[in-house]
Structure 1
Amino acid sequence: MAAPGENYRLAFPPSTKPHISTGIPFPAACAHHITNTFKASKVYIIVSNSISKTSNFTDLENALGDKVVGVRKGIKPHTPWDDVLEIVAEVREKGVDVIVTLGAGSLTDGAKVVAFALANNVSTTDDLAKLPGAAKTPNLNPPTLPIINIPTSLSGGEYSPFAGATDLRTHHKASFSHPQMGADLIILDPRLSISTPAQIWLSTGIRAVDHCVEGLCSLDANVSPATDASFAAGLKLLVPNLLITKKEWENEEARLGEMLGIVKAMGPLLGSTVIPMGASHGIGHQLGPLGVGHGETSCILLPAVLKWNFKNGDEAVRKAQRKVLDVLWGEASVRGVLERRGLKEGVADAGDCVGAVVKELGMPASLKDVGVGREKLNGLAVNSLKDRWVQTNPIPILEKKQVLEVLEMVVGDEK
């Protein structure tokens, strides 16, 4: 049931979750649904370290009052298993009946893995190792602990039934998944997002763009006019509004447009006809644990993967990329950026165009820009081959040398 003035709806009907809340401040929306939707009384908040020091966190605590029984300030980047297990123990001890996250990607993934772990009586690292999809452990229980996400980035992980968490013994970022994993409610508040650092907000916006672009470029059998329409709609909301936000930081209308663009981007990645992503996502999953932010991985890799696919692919690959070009050149504000940066319609490829947008937003474009040196390439390539989305790239990447060819395009130094 919606609060007064709130827009409360399902994100992806007929799926029964998540619901989306817009239109009222996030503390009021969260308090309303904890009481009236979830009927919860023992709230555990996972909040980013930076937000925990702000009035935004204080406002949420005040709205929830004595229902808050525990607070976790921060999960380290890329969701280490050790952090997950610490939260599992505390949530179990306190009898928590709803988790609220206030922050970005690692917190979102962490809450998902925590709920999954609790449902399967996980207490140790060895227990947790049985849950990733690659382990193929039979008869896993679905997560049941409700989750409310209040995101402060555009990564979009709050919409998916997948989560990544890093085993620090190997530095491999494992993928956890279950059809019932993920948020029950996502509260979108553009005003809250103004406090997010520009590097995080804009780079994670490119992460959302990555969903749309790799979706449009997929050659999977599940691709349809409906999935293409959703990805294209997301791209049309995301790129022009990101360009506005770069210039007008407090423009809340543009920010809400970006947030709703994520919904369009994520829809075809869910349900029974999932459109798989490609090598930008796959390699990016393993670049992250080297200290690179979720969004920065897409800024660096997406243009290069597009160009690698174009060079090595057939007409089907190039035809799929033209869907991306049609959207970008069809938006007047994006066309202006592309032309100002010397690109010509019909000549520039999709990698050129996405790369121009990344540079216009002032985001990193090479591994050198984010402090990853050539000595890391071999290990990164080996770990990337374990990722399912490297294998579902339009040109399946099955050999280390193929990953290294992509990485050479973005290393940013000279041999």
Structure 2
Amino acid sequence: MAAEGESYVPFTDHNPKPHISSGIPFYEACAHHVTNTFKASKVYIIVSNSISKTDNFKKLTNALGEKVVGVRKGIKPHTPWSDVVEIVEEVRSLGADIIVTLGAGSLTDGAKVVAFALANDVKTSEDLGKLPADQETPNIKAPALPIINIPTSLSGGEYSPFAGATDTRNHHKASFSHKELGGSLIILDPALSVSTPRQIWLSTGIRAVDHCVEGLCSLQPKVSAKSDKEFGEGLKLLVPNLLITSKDWENEEARLKEMLGARAAMGALDLGIPMGGSHGIGHQLGPLGVGHGETSCILLPAVLKYNYRHGDENVRKPQQKVLDILWADEAVVEVLKKHGLEKEKADAGDVIGAIITELGMPRTLKDVGVGKDKLDALADNSLKDRWLGTNAIPLTEKRQVLDILEMVVGDTD
């Protein structure tokens, strides 16, 4: 049930979960739904370290009052299993009946894995390692604890039935999946996002762009006119408004459009469209200390160019869908021309690369402190990721992954 003045709608027309809230302050929406929608009385909050020191966190805890039974301030980047197990034990001991996340990235994935682990009586990292990425495994129970996500980035993980968490024993980022994995409610508040650091907001915006672009360029059987339409709508909302935000930081209208663009991208993904090499390699680049969105800034242009150079017409043709959308927007065209691109000559990798450069985001591994000595192990770990096989050109050999990585090493002199 919506609060007064609130928009409260299902995620998509084909999937009612999660519901999406917007239009009223995040703390008012959260308190309303904790009480009236979920009938919860013991709230466990997972909040980023930085937000925990702000008035925004005070507004949330004041709105929830005595219902708050526990607070976790921060989860380390890329969701280490050790952090997950600690939170599972605390949530279990407190008898919490709902989790609220305030932040993004590792917090979002962490809450999903915590709920999954609680449902399956996980107590140790060894127990966690037995939870598969395939919900068809016998005796695996669906997550039952409701989650309210209040995101402060555009990476979109709160919409996904997948979660990544890193096994600290080998630095491999494992994937957890279940059709019921994920939040029950996502609260969008553009005013809250103004406090998100510039690097995180804009780079995760490119992460959302990555969803759209790899979706539009996918050659997998589930691609349809419906998925292309939703990915296209997401791209149209994201790129022009990210360019606005980079110049006009407090423009809440542009921020809400970006949030809705990320939602559109994830709605298309919910149709079962797999991602490609940018996501697959990025999953393993992240544990080396690279931000979730930054992996897309570095890898997406390179993967597009690799696919174009090594693919046939069937691989190249879908990239035209991306070009048609971006060259149709006057503000985007102005930026592309500023970077010396011509419509008749620039490929999708050139165009996406120019947009990322304009936003001031990293383009090479050197930019994020990853040296050539890491490439070999990075390629090995990447080959374990499910998305490499669904790249427009399936990435099945180490040499292919290394070819892409060598494109983004950067000047090492």
Q: TM (normalized to structure 1)? A: 0.98
How far apart are 1:346 and its partner, in Å?
A: 1.8
1:104 and 2:104 aligned: yes
Report the counterpart of residue 368 of structure 1 in structure 2.
366
Aligned CA RMSD, in angstroms, stands at 1.0
How many angstroms apart in 1 are the aligned matches of 2:223 and 2:376? 33
The alpha carbon displacement at 1:12 in A equals 1.3
How many percent of aligned residue pairs carry the same amino acid?
73
Counterpart-to-counterpart distance in 1, 2:131 and 2:312: 38
Structure 1 residue runs without a partner (length 5+): none
Partner of 1:91: 91
TM-score after normalising by structure 2: 0.99
Q: 1:287 aligns with which of 268, 285, 288?
A: 285
Question: Structure 1 pair 134/35, CA: closer, same or farther in 2 (3 Å)?
Answer: closer
What corresponds to 1:302 in structure 2? 300
Q: What amino acid is the match of 1:291?
A: G
Of residues 314, 317, 320 in structure 2, which corresponds to 1:316? 314
Q: Which range is displaced more, 10-19 or 356-365? A: 10-19
CA distance in 2, matches of 1:80, 1:132: 16
The 5 Å alignment of 1:15-414 reads 15-133=15-133, 137-270=137-270, 273-414=271-412
Q: Deviations over 1:284-338 (max 9, x none)?
A: 0000000000000000000000000000001011100000000110111111100
User: Which ranges in structure 2 are unaligned for 5 or more consecutive residues?
Assistant: none
C-alpha separation in 2, matches of 1:292 and 1:14: 34
**3-state SS of paired residue (2:165):** strand
Counterpart code for 1:277: M
Structure-1 separation of matches of 2:138 and 2:405: 36
Q: Residue 387 of structure 2 aligns to a residue in which SS?
A: helix
1:139 to partner: Cα distance: 2.5
Q: Which amino acid aligns with 2:388?
A: V
AA at the equivalent of 1:409: M
CA distance in 2, matches of 1:300, 1:202: 13
Q: Which amino acid aligns with 1:188?
A: L
For these two proteins, the number of residue pairs brought into alignment is 413
TM-superposed CA distance for 1:413, in Å, is: 2.7
What's the CA shift string for 1:217-248, capped at 9, x where partnerless?
00011111111010000000000000000000
Residue 135 of structure 1, CA deviation: 10
Contact 2:161 2:177 in 1 (8 A): yes
Instruction: Give a deviation string over 1:244-281, Cα, whole Å, max 9, x none.
Output: 000000000000000000111011211xx401000000
Change (3 A) 1:364 1:312: same
CA contact (8 A) 1:162 1:178 kept: yes
What is the identity, as a one-letter code, of the residue corresponding to 1:191? A
How far apart in 1 are the matches of 2:225 and 2:324?
A: 15
For residue 414 of structure 1, report the CA deviation from its aligned partner: 4.4
* Preserved CA contact (<8 Å) 1:98 1:146: yes
Using a 3 Å threshold, how does the CA distance of structure 1 residues 135 and 18 change in structure 2: closer, same or farther? Answer: closer
Q: Secondary structure at the match of 1:330?
A: coil
Q: Whole-Å Cα distance in 1 between the matches of residues 140 and 207 of structure 2?
A: 30
- Equivalent AA in structure 2 for residue 220 of structure 1: Q
| Contact kept in structure 1, 2:135 and 2:179, CA below 8 Å | no
Q: Match for 1:222: what amino acid?
A: K
| Residue identity in the other structure for 2:361 | M
Deviations 1:133-180 (A, max 9, x none): 179743210001000000000000000000000000010000000000
